[in-house]
Amino acid sequence: VLLLRLDEKSRTPLHRQILERVKEKLLTGVVRPGERLPSTRALACKLGVHRSTVALAYQQLWALGYVDLRPGARPRARARALLAQPSDRTAPGLIDWRKVATPTANAALDEHRAAPPSSAQRAEPRAISFAPLEVDRRLFPLVRFRSCLSRAFDRYGEALMRYGAPAGFWPLRQTVAARLVAHGIAVTADDVLLTNGSQQAIDLVFRMIAQPGKTVAVESPTYNATIALLRLHGLKPVEIPLSGAGLDLQVLADAMRRNTPALVYTMPSFQNPTGLSTTQAHREGLLSLCEAQRVPILEDGFEEEMQYAGKVVLPLKSMDRRRVVIYAGTFSKVLFPGVRIGWVAADRECIDRLVALRRFSEIAPSMVAQAAIDEFCRDGSYDRHIARMHRVFRKRMRAALDALRTHIRPEWAEWSEPAGGYLIWLRLRPLPSRRSDLARALAEHGVEAGLGHVFFYSRRPPAHLRLSIATLTESEIAKGVLRLAAAFQELYSRRRA
Ligand SMILES: Cc1ncc(COP(=O)(O)O)c(C=O)c1O
């Protein structure tokens, strides 16, 4: 006999209580697999409930795999695999994921663990950080964006909750195309693919070309995540040194003669990490070199909108009459990165391939985010926001450069003055001590900055620091530079000592 205790006062329905009690008996071994359970009628009688209540409980036990039901026979307990319990998660698993994963995936994990993404890093709370290349969240136009989000829902309704097109939301493709036209880039919406940030744009392009043995020419130094991504795709970076004018075209031409790269990856404006922008002449030179060799260029215009000083220089893509340039852009570096929207504009044949790759890997980008950003652009909010960012960062950059000139001695470091963006690249004089002393000295003086070596692939460069003013106000910048000066003072006076 099956002894089940039901609680008539409980809010749990009786059939549910029967189910749970029987399950308990099975899981604790009181009833063993193969054993017969009472008939519906017998159990209903014994418990004083309606037969249909017991029948429902047995039905559900059958559906969950705990009993076998056969017409005319009593239910029979069934051996059922135990459900995984929360405690199982901490016990060692059966699969050795390091063996299952490729060496590149394992290397990516090692790299990821060694340097968590900056937003996940818990910065020393009192430190002033020149490290994150992420817009100051105090400048996020949240209220405005929220009303755009709600307007998008009013306008498009349930369409926002459906799968979107793999190339992106058509109205936003039109909007982005129009913005590119304003930067001198002659494209239409068909030439534009919307991506989850420009990082995905870069990833898709690398995926399109990836094959063992292929190389990609990159500036040295370059955006560190690009180096990691190239490795992940089995592509080999070929480092072309940056001079004050941009990547060294002669070195690039020689490298191309020796071994034609599959692609040249470049950031002509406000280069990460150096903040450098190349001249019109340099851009023309790079373009004609790549045209002559028929090598495509991936132009990363991640901060294109952030030109707030100096002469306007148009993107490479604006001169791209032979369609060798794949242009990537993003809303991350002016508006906010969490919305994850970027774009690629390129030859239609190239775009079609990128669209196909995206479609089979992640179907389509988020409709909600795209529609909201589109509203934000169309009602003029984006232009107003950009104008504000220019006002703010023109002052912040000036404050940073003034403070550097005042407090950082030429015998410690040199730097050049960017025409926009957020980055200043300090080339340090040879350090009297080890490189690790630099990080320690910065930490001790309550200041953080990007350590330069991560932006190089194989070259062992002298010490550099990447200063990002993206998250700091003028007074924070001034205070941060003073701390930097104190750290340098300590580091460089050691030599004399
Ligand atoms: C040079 C460069 N390109 C692309 C990206 C990727 O930005 P997102 O994917 O947010 O557009 C970054 C981010 O820091 C960057 O520095």
Identify which of 86, 88, 104, 106 has the alpha carbon closest to the alpha carbon of residue 96. Answer: 106
Cβ of 224 below 6 Å from ligand 1: no
Identify which of 148, 221, 199, 211 has the alpha carbon closest to the alpha carbon of residue 358. Answer: 199
Q: Which ligand 1 atom is nearest residue 300's CA?
A: 3
* Residues 6+ positions from 480 with CB-CB distance below 8 Å: 128, 129, 130, 447, 472
Tokens of 283: 């851009």
The predicted-structure confidence for 4-47, as pLDDT tens digits, reads as follows: 889 989 999 999 999 999 999 988 889 999 999 999 999 999 99
Mutation choice for ligand 1 from 202, 272, 303, 425, CB with most ligand atoms inside 8 A: 272
Cβ of 337 below 6 Å from ligand 1: yes
The predicted-structure confidence for 81-125, as pLDDT tens digits, reads as follows: 877 888 888 888 899 999 999 988 898 898 888 876 665 555 667
Given this model, what pLDDT does residue 322 score?
A: 95
Whole-prediction pTM:
0.88
CA of 340 to the centre of ligand 1 (A): 10
Cβ of 223 below 6 Å from ligand 1: yes
Are the C-beta atoms of 49 and 41 separated by less than 8 Å? Answer: no
Q: Which ligand 1 atom is nearest residue 340's CA?
A: 10
Cβ of 197 below 6 Å from ligand 1: yes
Inter-axis angle of helices 381-407 and 142-156, to 10 degrees? 150
Cβ of 145 below 6 Å from ligand 1: no
CB atoms within 10 A of CB 430: 8
What is the full per-residue pLDDT of the chain (497 aa) written as tens digits?
A: 678 889 989 999 999 999 999 999 988 889 999 999 999 999 999 999 999 999 999 999 999 999 999 998 999 999 888 778 888 888 888 999 999 999 888 988 988 888 766 655 556 678 999 999 999 999 999 999 999 999 999 999 999 999 999 999 999 999 999 999 999 999 999 999 999 999 999 999 999 999 989 999 999 999 999 998 999 999 999 999 998 789 999 999 999 999 999 999 999 999 999 999 999 999 999 999 999 999 999 999 999 999 999 888 999 999 999 999 999 999 999 999 999 999 999 999 999 999 999 999 999 999 999 999 999 999 999 999 999 999 999 999 999 999 999 999 999 999 999 999 999 999 999 887 777 789 899 999 999 999 999 999 987 777 999 999 999 999 999 999 999 999 999 999 875 54
CA of 477 to the centre of ligand 1 (A): 23
What totals of helices (H) and strands (E) does the chain contain, helices first?
A: 16, 15
CA of 493 to the centre of ligand 1 (A): 37
Cα 254 to chain centroid, rounded:
34
The predicted-structure confidence for 317-375, as pLDDT tens digits, reads as follows: 999 999 999 999 999 999 999 999 999 999 999 999 999 999 999 999 999 999 999 99
Mutation choice for ligand 1 from 229, 302, 306, 455, CB with most ligand atoms inside 8 A: 302
Given this model, what pLDDT does residue 155 score?
A: 97
CA of 6 to the centre of ligand 1 (A): 60
